[in-house]
Structure 1
């Protein structure tokens, strides 16, 4: 299966696009760089994992993507609290990140079950 076929990759890619679009004019470049990088890391690491040769490598990159979900959700909350991200948008992003994290957890479990990593 190609990573582009995975719902978790499609949704995480869309989330990354939304983050870039919403924060395009944000002038706090440190915050903007950090949150866009964590959002971008989710679909990017899924893609990289699915391009690797071994299931162990795939597991590692999917696990990194899951970690990036937590990082992103934290940054979205901070962005709301400092006034960079509107509450409704930030909460939507946090909910999506947690949903993606659950999906990645299920994917990791299936990778472990299938290959006994």
Structure 2
């Protein structure tokens, strides 16, 4: 059965959960530019999945999914930096990095299934 709504995509659901975790991790951080950047990048993951899905063509959706992969990489890079700057405990940073890798793998799998 074909997916009819972006809300039914597991990768979108996981991306929404991921953004909530990122927001909560950094909500009291005083480095406002860092917090703003990682928050915006994490939100753009699920938003671009939704926007690309509703373009209604595979080539457009795939283009958006590659943008999503870039946003996921941006968040992952910032998580490494958050660990080095002690903005996040190392164990939590590792868990978030693994979650971002999981989302990236799901995105690549979705792209391959659409080609």
Does the TM-score normalized on the shorter chain lie above 0.5? yes
Distance in 2 between the 1:107 and 1:81 partners?
A: 32
1:86 paired to 2:89? yes
User: In the TM superposition, what is the alpha-carbon distance from 1:70 to its structure 2 partner?
Assistant: 1.0
User: In the TM superposition, what is the alpha-carbon distance from 1:69 to its structure 2 partner?
Assistant: 1.3
Distance in 1 between the 2:9 and 2:88 partners?
A: 28
Q: Identify the match of residue 46 of structure 1 among 45, 49, 64.
A: 49
Partner secondary structure for residue 88 of structure 2: coil
1:71 paired to 2:74? yes
User: In the TM superposition, what is the alpha-carbon distance from 1:53 to its structure 2 partner?
Assistant: 2.9
User: In the TM superposition, what is the alpha-carbon distance from 1:110 to its structure 2 partner?
Assistant: 1.2
Q: Identify the match of residue 6 of structure 2 among 3, 8, 13.
A: 3
In the superposition, the TM-score normalised over structure 2's length comes to 0.93
1:78-112 deviation digits (Å, cap 9, x = unpaired): 00100111112111110000011010001011111
Query: CA RMSD of the aligned region, Å?
Result: 0.9
Structure 1's consecutive aligned runs of 4 or more residues displaced over 3 angstroms after TM superposition are none
User: Structure 2, unaligned stretches of length 5 or more?
Assistant: none
The number of residue pairs the alignment matches comes to 112
In the superposition, the TM-score normalised over structure 1's length comes to 0.91
Structure 2 counterparts to residues 16-35 of structure 1, below 5 A: 16-35=19-38
User: Structure 1, unaligned stretches of length 5 or more?
Assistant: 113-117
